[in-house]
């Protein structure tokens, strides 16, 4: 281990170069890099709806009258909302929506009671702000709009933020980037080291000066690049075909995607050190893939799931990436606001890399 | 130049309840081709993996190139070459790409490409340089594997049944290379169960159930054989073999076509007459009984026969 960094980098470079050469000749894998994103984005044109309860909501009560408090109490009693947070002004509410802390918000203007009495359709008494990045939230909130409706006249003005036309492709695509990366990145690396063991290459490699960490880094590096290419491909298609907006910074998105790719690759490496064959590695990948897709909030609204499922989902990298990519792409949020999600991904990657290194050492 | 390159003392390695290597003592001197001979499952591959630092021993000590393992494993790794039983280079890389990869992994730097080209010529692979390793014949793969493990010019080479999947002609070529390497000062530890290969080694150790049962130069081993070897020519060899196996002093009988090869204890006087009498008494008078020169196979059989489950 007293090697200079130059030799160390040379060895990692040798593995990266070898890996890319092999990849270029592996037509199936090469096809999957482009094929999976293409097929998935073209297939996902729909979303699945379900009942929603307990949405995080905020209230800006500028009126502060007995009547306004009754409206808030009625909204809470509807069970669509969870705990309702009081906020001082509309700007704070908008910011909380952008950070993804709240799914919807009520703004009760100071002249609430007068507007209610006037009953002018152009001057609604209450504003309901909705996070439109999730269509199910929109449907649930619509039910709220029926509150206090008298004789077909609505009290609420509903404003859907971030996805005003409520198009499901807008809702699906940011999460789909994560789903595609989970599928391909975990699988590629899960198979990578098992394949070397199965073909007998590992027995030779471990008698050379290549260290375990060097082998892992060399195996992972090419796939970070490949993952970012996939992100670009899906994003380009999403913008071109489905007019998905890019409201936040692209740099933030790529940073988030990079961290997410790393988390998936380390998971793949870990699987690689546990699995005895390529087939087992594939089974384990799908064992992980299915809950990721179902629980991450990509398919079903996060709040609609029971608490146990939500806790489990917090352990899956995809859950955090779905929040990041929806936040950045649709709500225009920055990494400064979404850093806890990024930190969760980094923690996941560090933990699994450690585990993979431990497991690999033992097998030498 | 008599210092030992490998020194193992009471080396033991278990896999579950099985003792693959069981109290192995071995000393391999510098600059020789040293053979590890033994039946399947006798612990040859496990012993080599222990010497390479790939496996940790459960008990005992091993020193390789003066380094104690496992502490010195990293240092040793740079100075050994290990040719695995199975082809372990990348079948989806070309011959040249494989060698360049190995050169980079060993940090040969700017010198790497020149050494690769030299190895391609030396091992008769220059014409195949652009071909995928997976499409090579058995003999070519062995040459590529040897070229790869010698690229960094290690003073010690381990070869685990190197010619298992190779025809006799390629095997001879391959051994030519091994002698060249030994002439160049390298020490080679070769495991095999081919007798003709074993006879080419400078020194040999016979392994049985994880222990060294005999050790020495091939000629000395044959001379020290505690049995005499006779060949019997007779009409019904299978019946005759059963009769001979039950004859006093017989340690082993094996059939070679129409003839029987018999290992008989050394102190039996007039051995030809002894066997002929036994056969004639059973109604199978032999056409001929003659003493023959023993070979390594007889040494092998004499030391492992009757002790296998």
Percent of chain A beyond pLDDT 90?
18
Q: Which residues contact A77 (CB under 8 A, 6 or more apart)?
A: none
A200 touches chain B (CB under 8 A): yes
Contacts of B110 in chain A (CB under 8 A): none
* B154: closest chain A residue by CA: A208
Out of A21, A202, A205, name the one closest to residue B97 (CB).
A21
pLDDT score at B269: 86
pLDDT score at A153: 58
**In this model, does residue A151 exceed pLDDT 80?**
no
Task: Indicate the average pLDDT of chain B.
Answer: 88
A46 pLDDT band (50/70/90 cuts)?
A: very low
Out of A3, A17, A206, name the one closest to residue B54 (CB).
A206
For the beta carbon of residue B226, count every other beta carbon within 10 angstroms: 12
pLDDT, tens only, A72-100: 887 777 777 777 888 888 899 888 888 88
**In this model, does residue A71 exceed pLDDT 90?**
no
Query: Order of strands, edge to edge, in the sheet holding A156-161?
Result: A81-86, A55-61, A104-108, A126-131, A156-161
Based on its alpha-carbon atoms, the radius of gyration of chain B, rounded to whole angstroms, reads: 23
Out of B77, B87, B93, name the one closest to residue A207 (CB).
B77
- CA-CA distance, A140 to B250, in Å (whole number)? 94
* ipTM surpassing 0.90: no
A53 pLDDT band (50/70/90 cuts)?
A: low
pLDDT, tens only, A260-285: 999 999 999 899 888 888 888 888 88
B102 touches chain A (CB under 8 A): yes
- In this structure, what token pair is assigned to residue A272? 């690689």
A1, A18, A20, A219, best to mutate vs chain B, most B CBs in 10 Å: A18
A207 touches chain B (CB under 8 A): yes
pLDDT score at B1: 42
HEC-encoded secondary structure of chain A = CCCCHHHHHHHHHHHHHHHHHHHHHCHHHHHHHHHHHHHHHHHCCCCCCCCCCCEEEEEEECCCCHHHHHHHHHHHHCCCEEEEEECCCHHHHHHHHHHCCCCEEEEECCCHHHHHHHCCCCCCCEEEEEECCCHHHHHHHHHHHCCCCECCECCEEEEEECCCCCCHHHHHHHHHHHHHHHHHHHHHHHHHHHHHHHCCHHHHHCCCCCCHHHHHHHHHHHHHHHHHHHHHHHHHHHHHHHCCCCCCCHHHHHHHHHHHHHHHHHHHHHHHHHCCCHHHHHHHHHHHHHHHHHHCCCCCCHHHCCHHHHHHHHCCHHHHHHHHHHHHHCCCCCHHHHHHHHHHHHHHHHHHHHHHHHHHHHCC
Among candidates A318, A308, A322, which has minimal Cα distance to A348? A318
B101 touches chain A (CB under 8 A): yes
**In this model, does residue A172 exceed pLDDT 60?**
yes
As a whole number, mean pLDDT of residues A221-244 equals: 88
Q: Show the domains of chain A with their CATH numbers.
A: 55-161 (3.40.1710.10), 168-359 (no CATH)
**In this model, does residue B282 exceed pLDDT 90?**
no
pLDDT, tens only, A329-344: 888 888 888 999 999 9
Q: Do A10 and B101 touch (CB under 8 A)?
A: no
pLDDT, tens only, A104-148: 888 888 888 888 777 777 777 788 888 877 767 777 777 777 666
B219 touches chain A (CB under 8 A): no
As a whole number, mean pLDDT of residues B274-294 equals: 88
B118 pLDDT band (50/70/90 cuts)?
A: very high
Q: Does residue B80 or residue B73 have the better pLDDT? A: B80
Q: Do A10 and B104 touch (CB under 8 A)?
A: yes
pLDDT score at A155: 66
B88, B113, B135, best to mutate vs chain A, most A CBs in 10 Å: B88
pLDDT score at B307: 46
Among candidates B82, B59, B55, B84, which has minimal Cα distance to B70? B55
- CA-CA distance, A141 to A125, in Å (whole number)? 17
pLDDT score at B81: 92
B70 prior amide bond cis, ω within 30: yes
Out of B80, B84, B107, name the one closest to residue A7 (CB).
B107
pLDDT score at B309: 37
**In this model, does residue A214 exceed pLDDT 50?**
yes
DSSP H or E stretch at residue B73 = helix B73-77
pLDDT score at A49: 41
Q: For chain A, give the longest Cα–Cα distance.
A: 85
Question: For chains A and B, what is the number of CB pairs under 8 angstroms?
Answer: 70
**In this model, does residue B21 exceed pLDDT 50?**
yes
Residue B189 has φ and ψ, to the nearest 5°, of -110, 115
- CA-CA distance, B32 to B28, in Å (whole number)? 8
The CA–CA distances, whole Å, from A309 to A154, A330, B103 equal 36, 25, 51
CB of A35 within 8 A of CB of A83? no
DSSP H or E stretch at residue B51 = helix B44-52
Among candidates A207, A177, A222, which has minimal Cα distance to A44? A177
CB of B54 within 8 A of CB of B63? no
**In this model, does residue B55 exceed pLDDT 80?**
yes
- In this structure, what token pair is assigned to residue B6? 């490998």
Contacts of A360 in chain B (CB under 8 A): none
pLDDT score at B141: 92
């Amino acid at each position: 281990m007293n090697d200079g960094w130059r030799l160390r980098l040379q060895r990692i470079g040798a593995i990266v170069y070898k890996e890319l050469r092999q990849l270029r000749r592996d037509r199936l894998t090469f096809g999957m890099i482009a094929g999976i994103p293409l097929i998935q984005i073209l297939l996902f044109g729909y979303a699945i709806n379900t009942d929603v309860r307990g949405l995080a909501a905020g209230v800006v009560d500028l009126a502060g009258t007995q009547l306004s408090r009754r409206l808030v109490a009625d909204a809470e009693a509807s069970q669509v909302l969870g705990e309702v947070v009081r906020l001082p002004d509309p700007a704070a509410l908008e910011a909380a929506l952008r950070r993804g802390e709240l799914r919807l918000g009520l703004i009760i203007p100071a002249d609430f009671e007068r507007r209610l009495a006037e009953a002018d359709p152009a001057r609604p008494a209450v504003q309901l702000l909705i996070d439109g990045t999730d269509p199910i939230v929109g449907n649930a909130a619509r039910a709220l709009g029926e509150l206090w409706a008298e004789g077909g006249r609505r009290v609420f003005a509903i404003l859907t933020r971030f996805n005003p036309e409520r198009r499901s492709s807008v809702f699906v695509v940011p999460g789909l980037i994560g789903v595609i990366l989970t599928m391909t990145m975990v699988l590629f690396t899960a198979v990578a080291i098992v394949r070397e063991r199965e073909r007998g290459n590992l027995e030779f490699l471990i008698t050379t000066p290549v260290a375990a960490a060097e082998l892992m880094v060399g195996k992972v590096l090419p796939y970070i690049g490949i993952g970012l290419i996939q992100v670009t491909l899906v994003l380009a298609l999403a913008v071109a075909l489905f007019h998905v907006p890019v409201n936040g910074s692209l740099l933030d998105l790529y940073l988030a995607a990079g961290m997410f790719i790393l988390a998936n690759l380390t998971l793949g490496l870990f699987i690689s050190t546990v699995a005895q064959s390529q087939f087992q590695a594939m089974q384990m990948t799908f064992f992980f893939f299915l809950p990721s897709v179902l629980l991450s909030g990509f398919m079903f609204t996060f709040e609609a799931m029971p608490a146990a499922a939500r806790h489990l989902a917090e352990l899956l990298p995809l859950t955090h990436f779905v929040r990041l990519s929806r936040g950045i792409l649709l709500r225009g949020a920055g990494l400064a606001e979404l850093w806890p999600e990024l930190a969760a991904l980094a923690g996941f990657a560090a933990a699994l890399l450690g585990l993979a290194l431990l497991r690999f050492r033992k097998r030498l | 130049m008599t210092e030992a390159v490998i020194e193992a003392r009471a080396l033991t390695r278990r896999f579950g309840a099985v003792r693959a290597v069981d109290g192995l003592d071995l000393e391999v001197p510098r600059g020789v081709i040293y053979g590890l001979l033994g039946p399947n499952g006798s612990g040859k591959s496990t012993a080599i993996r222990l010497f390479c630092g790939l496996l940790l021993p459960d008990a005992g000590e091993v020193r390789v190139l003066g380094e104690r393992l496992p502490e010195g494993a990293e240092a040793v790794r740079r100075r050994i070459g290990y040719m695995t039983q199975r082809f372990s280079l990348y079948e989806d890389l070309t011959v040249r790409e494989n060698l360049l990869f190995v050169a980079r992994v060993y940090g040969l730097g700017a010198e790497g490409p020149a050494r690769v080209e030299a190895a391609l010529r030396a091992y008769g692979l220059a014409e195949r340089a652009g071909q995928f390793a997976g499409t090579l014949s058995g003999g070519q793969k062995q040459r590529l594997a040897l070229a790869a493990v010698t690229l960094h010019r290690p003073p010690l080479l381990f070869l685990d049944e190197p010619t298992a999947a190779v025809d006799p002609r390629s095997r001879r070529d391959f051994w030519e290379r091994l002698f060249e390497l030994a002439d160049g000062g390298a020490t080679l530890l070769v495991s095999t169960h081919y007798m003709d290969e074993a006879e080419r080694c400078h020194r040999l150790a016979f392994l049985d159930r994880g222990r060294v049962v005999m050790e020495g130069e091939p000629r000395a081993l044959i001379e020290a054989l505690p049995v005499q070897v006779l060949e019997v020519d007779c009409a019904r060899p299978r019946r005759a073999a059963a009769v001979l196996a039950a004859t006093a002093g017989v340690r082993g009988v094996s059939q070679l076509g129409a003839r029987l090869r018999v290992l008989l204890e050394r102190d039996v006087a007039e051995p030809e007459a002894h066997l002929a009498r036994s056969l004639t008494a059973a109604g199978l008078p032999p056409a001929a009984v003659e003493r023959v020169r023993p070979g390594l196979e007889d040494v092998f059989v004499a030391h492992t026969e009757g002790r296998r489950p």
